[in-house]
Amino acid sequence: MEILRCEGVRKVYGAGDNQVAALDKVDLSIGKGEFVAITGASGSGKSTLLHILGCVDKPTAGRVMIDGTDISTLNATRAAIFRRRKVGLVYQFYNLIPTLTIGKNILMPLLLDKKKPNQEYFQQVVGALGIADKLECLPNQLSGGQQQRAAIARSLLYRPALLLADEPTGNLDRKNAREIVDMLKLSNRNFNQTIVLITHDEKVALEADRIVTIEDGRIVGDGLSGEKFHGKKYADENHFDEKRR
């Protein structure tokens, strides 16, 4: 089942001779439950694409469908509501409210909609992310890795159609970065969460199932990551051998 589709997406900044095309005719399709890394050098357009997918910005041309909704047509108010309900966002800097407990930070999207959380799912998420004993703490009482786990929990609580992670390990040491990547993989596997990870780190990108490479605003590569490619190739070869027997 397709959860995301971009058709001919362009994003142009400036006017006249000063025009710069940050994205140029981007076509992309992502299925439900995929874990996709979007990678590219600084200025390649990957962050611009993330802002459009997250309803933070609008394309100059083209169409973006998320879970059956054309987000390109949404006004600012409807885009904000759609983002809160359908798109989970995890940034390099955790964006936790410093005066609220971790528990209230995680619940914030639901509180804004005046909805009661599913306590069973809430406990499942914070337990899986290893922060069930940190819910009464303030953000500054936690390590960077723990704060990022809280940000991931917050993004999962609405069961979003799409989780967007923008350089989520960029502000962490190697140990915490490894743990956050593992948490994203766990979210993808245990909750069938569709994840789009923006990163310039090749090692982080290789943890995804699929890697999309952007260069000068265009997609120049799209395929299975190394380990997954070799695993699929091995499986395909075995299947072929079985058919020949």
pLDDT digits (tens, 9 = 90+) for 168-183: 888 788 887 888 888 8
Model confidence at 242, pLDDT cuts 50, 70, 90, reads very low
Range of weakest confidence among 92-101, 117-126, 175-184: 175-184
Highest mean pLDDT among 111-115, 227-231, 241-245: 111-115
pTM of the model: 0.82
32-46 per-residue burial string, b: 16 or more CB within 10 A, e: under 16: eebbbbbbbeeebbb
Q: What is the mean pLDDT of residues 158-170?
A: 88
Q: How far apart are CA 120 and CA 245, in angstroms?
A: 50
Q: Are 72 and 62 in contact (CB under 8 A)?
A: yes
Q: What is the mean pLDDT of residues 156-163?
A: 89
Q: How far apart are CA 217 and CA 204, in angstroms?
A: 21
Question: Which has the higher per-residue pLDDT, 243 or 19?
Answer: 19
Number of alpha carbons in the 13 Å side-chain half-sphere of residue 208:
27
Pairing of strands 69-70, 162-166: unpaired
Q: How far apart are CA 6 and CA 26, in angstroms?
A: 7
**What pLDDT is attached to residue 15?**
82
Question: Which has the higher per-residue pLDDT, 243 or 194?
Answer: 194
Q: How far apart are CA 206 and CA 198, in angstroms?
A: 12
Residue 89 has pLDDT above 60, yes or no: yes
